[in-house]
Structure 1
Amino acid sequence: MTNPGDRHNPTRPLIGVGGVVWHQNKVLLIRRGKPPKAGEWSLPGGAQELGETVVETLIREVFEETSIRINNIEFLEIVDLIVQGEEHGKPRYHYTLIDFSADAAQQSTRPTPGDDAIDSIWADPDALETYGLWEKTIEVIRKSQQQRMARLSD
C-alpha cells in the first residue's frame, strides 16, 4: 500500500505552497532540483509540513530555497498540479498549490540556491517566456504583478 504522504503515486493530494516574491520590479525564480519538474524554472515553494500554517510554509520554503526573507504576504490563488501516471490512470503527482504574493525584505535581496533549488535568480517579468515556465506559473506571476501595481498606485 502507498503511504498517503508519498509524493510519487499518492493516495491523496499533497499541499504545496509557493510565492511570487518581488524585489525592485523583478520576480524570484528557482530552478528545481527534484521532481516534479526537476531542472525547470519555477516559483520558490514546497510541501506543507504537519503542524505548519501555509504562511509558515511559505516563509520557510522561500528562505530554504533562496535565502530570501519575505514580508507583505498576500494570498493570491489556488492551483491544481496533476501529472498523470502510467498505472491505470492514477496520478503520478497531485498537488494542491496555494500561491501567495510577497516582497523581499530589504536586508536580504541576493538569492542563494539551497534545499530543493539548484539555482535562484531575480527575473525580469517581461522575459518570463525565456525560462520555459509552466503556463499557469506565468499566469500567477502576471496576476500578482497586476495586484501589486494596483496596490502601489493607491
Structure 2
Amino acid sequence: MTLHSGPKLAVGGVVWRGGEVLLIRRGKEPWMGQWSIPGGKVDFGETLETALAREIREETGVEAALKGFVGAFESITAHGHYVMIDYACEWLSGEPVAADDALDAAFFPFAEAMEKVGWDETRNVISLSKSFLAP
C-alpha cells in the first residue's frame, strides 16, 4: 500500500482558439496516454494563474490568456489525491508542440476534443468553459 502525504493542488486550462480546444496526451500517471487539457501541479509560492500559464507553456509552447474560473474538481486514484482548479483560456500565440510531460499536443474542433477526452469531469470542464468565449 502506498502512503500519500495529502491532496496535491493542480491547475488546468481549457485553451480555446476559435472553435478549437487545445489538448495534450499525457506522458505520466495519472491517466498516462490519455488526452486531457494542459495543466499540472502548483509549485510552492506560485499563484494559480502563474502556475497555469507556466504549465500550458511548458507542455505545449502555447501562450494563453486566462478568461475565467470554470470549477474545482477532485480525483482520488492509486496515483494520489488531486484537487484541480480549472480555467477557461484564450489562445494568444504559438503552435502546439508536445514538451515536458506531454506526449502530444494539438488543437481539435470542439466535437472531436470531446470524443478524445476519456474522463467525464474533463469533458464537463470543456463544456462549461464555452460560456467564457466571446459571442
The answer to whether the superposition gives a TM-score over 0.5 is yes
Q: How many residues align?
A: 134
Alignment of 1:18-29 (within 5 A): 18-29=12-23
Alignment of 1:1-154 (within 5 A): 9-83=3-77, 85=78, 92-105=79-92, 107-108=93-94, 110-145=95-130, 147-149=131-133, 152-153=134-135
Is the strand fraction higher in 1 or 2? 2
Whether contact under 8 Å (2:117, 2:123) holds in the other structure is no
- 1: CA distance between counterparts of 2:3 and 2:82? 11
- 2: CA distance between counterparts of 1:111 and 1:139? 23
Task: Please state whether the residue corresponding to 1:137 is helix, strand or coil.
Answer: helix
- Structure 1 residues 9 and 128, CA, compared in 2 at 3 Å: closer, same or farther? farther
Q: Which letter does structure 2 place at the counterpart of 1:102?
A: C
Higher-Rg member (1/2): 1
Give the fraction of aligned pairs with identical amino acids, expressed as a percent.
35
Q: Once superposed, what is the RMSD of the aligned Cα atoms?
A: 1.4
- 2: CA distance between counterparts of 1:69 and 1:54? 16
TM-score, with length taken from structure 2: 0.93
- 1: CA distance between counterparts of 2:114 and 2:53? 26
TM-score, with length taken from structure 1: 0.82
Q: Which letter does structure 1 place at the counterpart of 2:132?
A: R
Q: CA deviation at 1:35?
A: 0.4
Task: Please state whether the residue corresponding to 1:133 is helix, strand or coil.
Answer: coil
Runs ≥4 residues deviating over 4 A = none
- 2: CA distance between counterparts of 1:14 and 1:42? 18
- Structure 1 residues 39 and 9, CA, compared in 2 at 3 Å: closer, same or farther? farther
